Structure 1
């Protein structure tokens, strides 16, 4: 059984995956860590900030995932390679632009990368793609509050409660515009 945790950089995927795995007794797996550790990539390019960007060998990654047994929480910016039939729930972490900007700046992301991720979040492109693949298994979890509240929502989502996805306010779009445009 797989529980997937997705979201833009800075949404809290790694932290939530590690803590939630302890709470429910699953193993936590970071897509990026697995790809790098097992050399499941065909090339290394540079992202907008000049940092390494791994071009994943999806066949090898899917093969590795199919070989896993037991309960796993798989987190990453991209998790859509996991078969829907093996997936119990997809938690899509959302945070307000102001929170995401602060978190991505703290991680050393350049403005161009921050803005492209903010735009993707506000437009909802990855969330919609996940919904197309996984249907009702996709649940939004607000992650810009205290960790204990985020974990409480994540636990509710795993237990199949429906949680509303954020409706971005005018203030959120203005925050994006003032930072990125």
Structure 2
């Protein structure tokens, strides 16, 4: 996604508001399968608006740090019809391993992309078609649908013919499950 532009604001030495970063995301993962693009991260520490550090220029991991948050765009490519489950299983296992999140795949019985994090997530589907799989439900989403994902086992599956684009904010939370 070469056209994604991040504008991150901050303050200069005189305390005036300025643009601290203006450009594409510093990190991405899995561009061949759609892609996950880190926009910004917090780690639970105090926010210093004078700091020019690109908080998204770190290894891409699924969940935020303790007390932190993640803001990201992610694209999901369509699942090719007739793809064998073992091929999907291997692809999802690899993708979650790359994000340091193999342990989040607690029950993949329903779908190989199922995972469960201790976060509250705010997700908006911007383009395409996606089905949200839960343990006992499926919800077909259309552009501009919003999901509040509260630490449940889930998977995002592109059921359309074109890539789906979503934006997500993940916040570390003390989720009761």
Give the alignment's TM-score, normalised by structure 2: 0.29
Return the structure number with greater strand share: 2
Return the structure number with greater helix share: 1
Larger relative contact order (C-alpha < 8 A, sep ≥ 6)? 1
Give the alignment's TM-score, normalised by structure 1: 0.29
